Every structure is written in C-alpha cells, then in structure tokens.
Structure 1
Amino acid sequence: MEAGRRSIWIICLVWVFLGGICSLVIAEFIRNHSADEYVDYYGSDVFQNAVSVAETSLTVLRTLDRSDNAPCSAEDLEEMRGVVFAAPYLTDVGRLRDGYLVCTGIWGELAMPVKMPPRSQVVGVNAATLWKGARGIAPAGLAVDMSSFGNSVVMTAPTAFARYEDPAERLAALVLTSDASYSYQSFGDTEGLAPLLGSNSDWYRIAQRRVYSRCNDKIDVCVVATYDAPALLKTAPLDFLLVLAGGVSA
C-alpha cells in the first residue's frame, strides 16, 4: 500500500517536471518570436534608411558627373544649389579639383580651396570614394561623412541617421559593406556584430541574442542589428511563476 502511494507520488512529480519543462520551452519560443519581431522591425528600419541615404548620394553624384556645366560656373553652382534643396539626407554638394574642394552649392566658389583629408574607403561596387567623420571641410568644424565620384562630392546631413543614435536598451545596429571591411554607421554596442553579417535568428533556436541581417548588393550597403533579449525570469517573474503553475496543472 505504502509502495503504491510512493509510486503515484513519483509519477506525479515526473509529470509536473515534464509539464514545467514543456511550459518553459513554449514560453521561450513565444519570447523569441516577440524578440525577433522587435529586432526585425528595428533592423529593417535602419536598413531602409541606410539604403535611401546611399541611393540619394549615388544618384546626385551621377547626375553631377553627367552635367555639361563647367565646374564651379554660375550654371553649375545654380544646379548644385537646386540639388541640395531637393535632395534629402544631404547638407551640401561640391566640386573637387586636384584633391581640393573648390566650390559647393551652399557656399559657392571658395576663396581658399580646402584640401581633402585622406580617404576612408573606396567602394568598388559603385567606385565611390568615402570619407567618414571628416573635419575641416564643413563650416564650423563639423564632422561630416562624404562620398565622391569623378570631380563631384556630396556631404551627408548630420540628421540622416539622427533617430538611431540612441537606440533602446539591448538594441544595436551596424551599417557596413558586404565584406564587413568598412563601417558606415554604428548604433549602440556593436562589438562582435560584424561577424554576424549574413545570419538571421532561426525561430526554432532558443538564444538570448536575436539577429537581423540584410544587404543591398547594388550599392554595397548591409545592416546587422541585434537585440539581447533578457531572460524570462528577469523580464516577467509573474509570467515565470505562471509557467511553473502550468507545469503543475499539466
């Protein structure tokens, strides 16, 4: 009789344990799904913005490169001013001569041409030369990102990525080239993100770090975004207790 009761208790405890494990696994899958939706929304937003900025810069550079106007002529300056006011994400455009910035749409022909700093990168897919955070070019000593093609140069507006500069807790994003050799922009703690390029979180893998990754090969712009989801016990202790209760009632 006593042995039978002991067996029943053991069986009940086993079922409670198995029910709790199953409930925890289900809860983790639900949490992962929510975290994936969160990082996918954030990452895709950063990606679309990065692509828009790059496409705008390349379109303007190609337009200026095909222009029949003599560089820095009155007609050229008027065209560049029109481009600056019409193109989003750009703060100015200009012309280069022998490694110097000689005129811009906003400032006109410069009395003292400005020597361009050493380039940061040349992106082979579109043959654009890049400068990151260059100082001494824009007025007031502001650091600007620039790209050039031929004798034309465009300056990215500081506000182009402003809304991503202070990401929510546990979020991070890296805008980079497809070979991960150059980083256009970074937001949050991006240490270790570059090697994640090309990977995305699988729904069936239980992992704290959820990953979004996407590339546009035509303009060589990629984004890796991550969200380090907190443990279930830390985010919702009441939910954790309910999960255990679910195991007991299973």
Structure 2
Amino acid sequence: MGLQYKLARVLMMVMLLVATHAARADSDSVMLTYTPDLATETIRMYWLKDDGTPYKTINNLLDMQGKTRQIHMVINGGIYSKSYQPEGLYIEQGKVLSKLNRQKGKGNFFIRPGGVFSVRNGVVRIDTLEKFRLTPVADFAVQSGPLLINKGVVNNKFSNTSESRKIRHGVGITDKGKVVFLLSKQAMSFYDFTYYARDRLKIRDLLYLDGSISNMYTPESPVYYQHYPYVTMITVEAK
C-alpha cells in the first residue's frame, strides 16, 4: 500500500474527527441526516404513478405528491436493476410490486446479509432476509444490501484498508428506536460509513440503500438537478 494512500487515509480520519465535534451542533458536517418524529410524521415509499410510469426524479415526485402532501424529506430507495426495476422486494401501500430476491450475484446488493426496511402500522423495522416475513404484509417495504449493522454487530466483510470510496446512503435505527436516514457528504468507504453511523449516530441496525447517485431532499436543502433517474423513493411526510 503506497504512502500516498496512507496519508490520504490519515487526513480522512482527521477530517472525520474534526467534523464529528462540529456535528454536535451541526449534524450534516459529515452526513446529511434526517430523523423522523413518528408521532407527527409518517414514512412512505413511491415508485409508479397512477398511469404506471415511474416518477424518476425527486422533483417530479414533489410536483405531483406535494400538492396534497406535506413532504419533509425525500431520498432514493434501494438498488435497482438495469431494467429500472427494484432489484428485490418492494411493497407499496400493502401491494407487493417486486418479489423478495434471495439469489446470489455480484455487486453490493448481493453482499450478505441482505436486509429489508419496512413500515407496518407505523412500526419501522430493519430485518435480515432470513428474519423478514411477508405476512402480515407490510404497508411499505424495500429490500437492499448489504446490511451493515445487525443488532449492534458490524458486518465483518469490510476492511479499514479499503480504497473504494463513494457517496453512500442508508437507513438506520438507533439504540433508542429512532429512525435515521443518512447520506454522506463526501466519498467514504463502507467501513468508515458504518463506524460513523454506529459510533456517532448510535445506530444499531443499518441498511445500505445506494451510493454515488444518491440525494436527500429537505425544504432547507432542495435538489436542483439529478443526473440519473431513480426507481423507488422514500419520503417522510406530515401525518
């Protein structure tokens, strides 16, 4: 491993530590985060419009759904296939629109354990593929992978020496049961992303959703332009 990489990694960790101190007052110094208040907010998911065509962009979703709903946050959902379909399970308003995928393959989606983020009667869960149950059917659910933290245990498939750095986003549940949507503001390894979530945000279950193309919308942080279309999107809305 070259000296240049080692120096870059040291600089990265210093930046993380400095930003973490700032994060006590400004939680988006390293990560953009959104923690819904489930007493006053609800989590929904979107893929297809009433005419069967996809929304594709955050702004299209806001233009159509924002007329009748007060949307506080939007983020792209799980990984999708080359045919612009959800790669695995996707449930919207109690309807299974894409089936659970237990196949083996290449890419982040197939790194095990995989997981499912679901909402049922206001209760939010992150389950492994083995633990998730289709019945009773969830109101909303999306499958993705890898599951980076499961009940406080970090996935050991990722190394602190990894040179793969990308923008990353995911959804987590803290040790106090709060949901956190998080999007890195800089390219990070899976290892750094995971340990930041665990150590700084106190997340005990963390599901990776997607990477380089990801965006998070809030009214204070609009998304002006989107390079690639999305398939599924997750919103936080006023009840």
Q: Please give the range of the TM-score, normalised by the shorter of the 2 chains.
A: under 0.3
Larger Rg, first or second structure (1 or 2) = 1
Higher relative contact order (CA 8 A, sep 6+): 2
The structure richer in helix per residue is 1
The TM-score with structure 1 as length reference comes to: 0.26
